[in-house]
């Protein structure tokens, strides 16, 4: 045995503050319903799992030591009456003239509406509580099917405590023309919003679904933990738009997975402009032969925002196609992390996977980390990837200014141009307009 070296401590290092844990207890779990078993399992998992540590690869670049975890409480029933109301503009349809249905999730409550024609065609689109009561078997079957509580502390937390959520079921062969829209509205400070979204687009069905999370900017801290589980059945078609517009005081965590069946297709669009910190795991499972999935991400961080998107494209069956493009701009002291992985299973021959992440840094103190990855276990595949982090160049700015365009506007034009390839992938003018608005506001701000 080797002799232990003698260690002489001349100066003590300041101890690293530990990540604080939540103060949630079993008596805070939602009342027993269709998800009783699932929640109990999620609660056990949650209790067993430690808070993520910076030593874990997925959390190396996203620091939770300042998360005031122990201060958050769950909103009580009817809490929305005391809090800021939903701004009208968030209720407007973004992808068409009108909604086919709308679910509004409020602190401690929800409202839902659905076109009677869709009700007649057995479409289910409502909040989680209502669905638990009205469609218990369906909800129990869907929850935990794609995202397991074991995937992480926040997944387990969301599974156990989701006091709110959305359930969408589109029966076989049903094509929904008008888009469905849901809004998670999370005003107030010191609150933990926990949501669970369950979507099943059954065989041959087709729908456009837009979900937004939003809150006003407030001082203090709030948090959101969410799960999104989406199953796109054989030959089905889903356009899914996710907008993240949390206030700048919100710590936002989510685990999301879309599973795409035989010859089915998903067009998955992300827009992230809000939150204090976001850690988002988004996975695309191309589970059936010939499945295709496109993921398009737009993010723009400023101030001290920290946006961390972890994406995974899993080719699990032959002849599957994935195409991911995430583009982000960064201002102020903000930081972004994109970590992407294309995984090709041994059986997934003849697949085509693409991933690219492009970042534009607009200020000297902003930073973007871009980490692509490939794990290919099949031999007859085509996989390409690219990652870039670029700075705002002086020559284009000078060129635009030489045409009389003021500094800020010149910068905005360059940023708009940078985001154009993402805009080209978004088939909804209303969504593009929202991104344009974010570009305007963020480039104009000092």
Partner 1 sequence: MSELVIKNLHVSIEGKEILKGLDLTVKQGETHALMGPNGTGKSTLAYTLMGHPSYTVTSGEIWFKDKNIIEMPVDERSRLGLFLAFQYPVAIPGVTVANFLRTAINARRRAENPQDKGINILEFRNMLKEKMEMLKMDNAFAGRYLNDGFSGGEKKRAEILQMAALKPEIAILDETDSGLDIDALRIVADGVNALTGPQLGALVITHYQRLLNYIKPQFVHIMLDGRVVESGGPDLALHLEEQGYDWVREKYEEEKTSIR
Of residues 60, 376, 405, 430, which one binds partner 1 by CB under 8 A? 405
Of residues 74, 410, 426, 431, which one binds partner 1 by CB under 8 A? 410
Closest separation in Å from C-beta 360 to partner 1: 11
Nearer to partner 1, 40 or 401 (CB): 401
Q: Is 413 in the site for partner 1 (CB under 8 A)?
A: yes
Tell me which residue of 354, 280, 298, 347 sits closest to 322, measured CA to CA. 354
Nearer to partner 1, 335 or 358 (CB): 358
- Contacts for 246 with CB less than 8 Å, ≥ 6 apart: 186, 213, 214, 215, 224, 252, 274, 275, 276, 278
Per the DSSP assignment, residues forming a β-bridge with 192 are 223
Nearer to partner 1, 258 or 414 (CB): 414
Q: Is 395 in the site for partner 1 (CB under 8 A)?
A: yes
Nearer to partner 1, 21 or 388 (CB): 388
Q: Is 396 in the site for partner 1 (CB under 8 A)?
A: yes
Q: What is the DSSP letter of 175?
A: B
Closest separation in Å from C-beta 390 to partner 1: 11
Q: Is 398 in the site for partner 1 (CB under 8 A)?
A: yes
Q: Is 407 in the site for partner 1 (CB under 8 A)?
A: yes
What 3-state class would DSSP assign to 117? helix
Restricting to residues 285-314, name those near partner 1 by CB under 8 A: none
Contacting range for partner 1; rule: CB under 8 A; set: 69-77, 170-178, 333-341, 415-423? 415-423
CB-based burial label for 76 (10 Å; 0-12, 13-18, 19+)? exposed
**Of all residues in the chain, what percent are helix, strand and coil, respectively (each to 5)?**
25, 40, 40
Closest separation in Å from C-beta 43 to partner 1: 48
Closest separation in Å from C-beta 412 to partner 1: 9
Q: What is the arrangement of strands in the sheet containing 206-214, beginning at the earlier edge strand?
A: 109-114, 101-106, 180-185, 206-214, 237-245, 265-272, 292-301, 321-330, 352-361, 382-391
Closest separation in Å from C-beta 413 to partner 1: 5
Tell me which residue of 230, 160, 169, 179 sits closest to 205, measured CA to CA. 169
Q: Is 421 in the site for partner 1 (CB under 8 A)?
A: yes
Q: Is 418 in the site for partner 1 (CB under 8 A)?
A: yes
Nearer to partner 1, 109 or 396 (CB): 396
Nearer to partner 1, 121 or 440 (CB): 440
Closest separation in Å from C-beta 400 to partner 1: 7
Are residues 276 and 248 in contact, defined by beta-carbon separation less than 8 angstroms?
A: yes
Strand (E) or helix (H) holding 42:
helix 36-48
Q: Is 416 in the site for partner 1 (CB under 8 A)?
A: yes
- Contacts for 87 with CB less than 8 Å, ≥ 6 apart: none
Nearer to partner 1, 268 or 419 (CB): 419
Q: What is the DSSP letter of 61?
A: T
Nearer to partner 1, 153 or 434 (CB): 434
Q: How many helices (H) and strands (E) does the chain have?
A: 8, 20
What 3-state class would DSSP assign to 132? helix
Nearer to partner 1, 47 or 424 (CB): 424
Closest separation in Å from C-beta 228 to partner 1: 30
Per the DSSP assignment, residues forming a β-bridge with 310 are 281, 339
Of residues 376, 401, 430, 440, which one binds partner 1 by CB under 8 A? 401
**Residues 343-382 vs partner 1: string with x where CB under 8 A?**
----------------------------------------
- Residue 120 has a CB neighbour count (10 Å cut-off) of 8
- The footprint of partner 1 on this chain (CB under 8 A) covers a number of residues equal to 23
Rounded to whole angstroms, the Cα distance separating 156 from 153 reads 5
Of residues 113, 399, 427, 429, which one binds partner 1 by CB under 8 A? 399
Contacting range for partner 1; rule: CB under 8 A; set: 17-25, 103-111, 339-347, 393-401? 393-401
Are residues 303 and 248 in contact, defined by beta-carbon separation less than 8 angstroms?
A: yes
Write out the residues near partner 1 by the rule CB under 8 A. Answer: 394-396, 398-407, 409-410, 413-414, 416-421
């Amino acid at each position: 045995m080797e002799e232990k070296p003698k260690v002489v401590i001349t100066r003590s290092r300041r101890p690293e503050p530990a990540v604080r844990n939540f103060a949630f207890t079993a008596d805070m779990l939602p009342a027993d319903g269709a998800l009783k078993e699932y929640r109990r399992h999620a609660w056990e998992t949650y209790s067993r799992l430690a808070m993520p540590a910076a030593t874990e690869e997925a959390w190396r670049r996203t620091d939770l030591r300042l998360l005031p975890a122990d201060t958050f409480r769950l909103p009580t029933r009817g809490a929305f009456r005391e809090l800021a109301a939903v701004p009208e503009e968030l209720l407007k349809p973004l992808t068409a003239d009108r909604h086919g249905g709308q679910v509004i999730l409020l602190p401690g409550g929800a409202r839902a509406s659905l076109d009677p024609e869709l009700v007649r065609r057995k479409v289910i689109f409502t909040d989680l509580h209502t669905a638990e009561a009205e469609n218990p078997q369906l909800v129990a079957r869907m929850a935990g099917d794609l995202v397991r509580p074991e995937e992480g502390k926040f997944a387990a937390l969301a599974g156990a405590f989701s006091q709110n959520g959305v359930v969408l079921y589109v029966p076989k062969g049903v094509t929904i023309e008008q888009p469905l829209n849901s809004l998670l509205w999370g005003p107030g400070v010191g609150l933990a919003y926990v949501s669970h979204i369950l979507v099943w687009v059954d065989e041959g069905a087709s729908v456009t679904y837009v979900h937004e999370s939003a809150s006003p900017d407030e001082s203090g801290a709030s948090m959101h933990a969410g799960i999104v589980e989406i199953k796109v059945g054989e030959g089905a078609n889903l356009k899914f738009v996710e907008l993240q517009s949390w206030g700048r005081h919100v710590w936002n965590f989510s685990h999301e997975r879309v599973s795409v069946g035989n010859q089915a297709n998903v067009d998955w669009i992300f827009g992230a402009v809000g939150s204090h910190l976001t850690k988002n795991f988004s996975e695309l499972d191309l589970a059936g032969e010939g499945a295709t999935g496109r993921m398009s991400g737009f993010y723009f961080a400023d101030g001290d925002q920290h946006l961390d998107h972890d994406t995974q494209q899993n080719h699990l069956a032959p002849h599957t196609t994935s195409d991911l493009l995430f583009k982000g701009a960064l201002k102020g002291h903000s930081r972004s992390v994109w970590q992407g992985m294309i995984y090709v299973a041994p059986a997934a021959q003849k697949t085509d996977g693409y991933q690219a992440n492009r970042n534009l840094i607009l200020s000297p103190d902003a930073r973007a980390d871009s980490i692509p990855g490939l794990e290919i276990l099949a031999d007859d595949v085509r996989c390409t990837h690219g990652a870039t982090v670029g700075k705002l160049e002086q020559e284009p700015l000078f060129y635009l200014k030489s045409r009389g365009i003021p500094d800020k506007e010149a910068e905005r034009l360059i940023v708009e141009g940078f985001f154009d390839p993402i805009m080209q992938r978004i088939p909804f003018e209303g969504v593009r307009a929202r991104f344009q608005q974010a570009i305007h506001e963020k480039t104009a701000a000092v």
